[in-house]
Structure 1
Amino acid sequence: MSDNFATSVLNITTGTSETVTDLTHDCEQFLARAAGGRDGLLNIFVPHATAGIAVLETGAGSDDDLLATLHTLLPADDRYQHRHGSPGHGRDHVLPALVPPHATLPVIAGRLELGTWQSVCLVDTNMDNTDRQVRLSFLG
């Protein structure tokens, strides 16, 4: 594998409630090892059909607002064709159409280039799957 590419997998336990999990620190730690001070791109990918990656402000209520908005847009009821799992689980399979399972972000001089209030987050509304993997890949 080229010195210009590095990848690693995070194992995240999200628990049995809907969550927005901040991955920014994990991304920064990965880049400290992988980027070597270079410019490039960080790709964050969650290989699950019921989770997504979002870039948003956390800690000021925006993460809760996102979950509330998803409840409005995707109610957890029996309207969905996809019906295995807990009631309303079909909504979890629609989530990646609104919160995609990936993000690609700029890396400048080995550091993640985010806005002042931006964080990289795993969004998981699936209460049936408590263990998630997130693949971080640096191309520089």
Structure 2
Amino acid sequence: MKSTLFEVTTGRDEVVRDITRQCAAFVREAGTDGLLHIFVPHATAGVAIMELGAGSDDDLLAALRDLLPPDDRWRHAHGSPGHGRTHVMPAMIAPQTTIPVLGGKLALGTWQSIALVDLNVDNPDRQVRLSFLTDAG
């Protein structure tokens, strides 16, 4: 298994950040078939496969605000107002996903991209772990 860790600065706003380029570059080096596993080692972030850049990013953030309002209802209450919701979000948008790789290329659909979803405005620095698994190990 080949693995790497890279940093993503998400800033102080809720974001859907495209990480497809970094993922594609990682598997391109291998040039073979396998599985790319993407993992975000954080309790308040997730990974989504979705269309990006056509308003879907903002739609996802709006839907998450509707489902998980940033108010004082959350028992997990430290940090910024509504911070507890960021600890619930990974149950909906998991902190990991796996994508097939064929000939060193991500086997994504035409409009699919890989996104880091981060609602935590208290932590602007994130890490993403990429692991590439092949028959050879």
Counterpart position of 1:76 = 70
RMSD: 0.5
Q: Which runs of 5+ in 2 are unaligned?
A: none
Q: Distance in 1 between matches of 2:70 and 2:46?
A: 17
Q: 1:15-46 CA distances to partner (integer Å, 9 max, x unpaired)?
A: 0000000000000111122x2x2111000000
If the length of structure 2 is used for normalisation, what is the TM-score? Answer: 0.96
Q: Distance in 2 between matches of 1:79 and 1:18?
A: 19
Determine helix, strand or coil for the equivalent of 1:66.
helix
User: Shift in Å at residue 133 of structure 1?
Assistant: 0.2
Q: Distance in 1 between matches of 2:28 and 2:93?
A: 27
Counterpart position of 2:18 = 22
Q: 1:70-106 CA distances to partner (integer Å, 9 max, x unpaired)?
A: 0000000011110000000000000000000000000
2:133 aligned with 1:139: yes
Q: Distance in 2 between matches of 1:14 and 1:87?
A: 18
Q: State the identity as a percent.
A: 62
Q: Which amino acid aligns with 2:83?
A: H
If the length of structure 1 is used for normalisation, what is the TM-score? Answer: 0.94
Q: Number of residues paired by the alignment?
A: 134
Q: Which runs of 5+ in 1 are unaligned?
A: none
Q: Which among 83, 107, 110 is matched to residue 113 of structure 1?
A: 107
Tell me which stretches of 4 or more aligned residues in structure 1 moved more than 3 Å.
none
2:28 aligned with 1:32: yes
Determine helix, strand or coil for the equivalent of 1:100.
coil
Q: Distance in 2 between matches of 1:83 and 1:74?
A: 14
Q: Which amino acid aligns with 2:81?
A: P
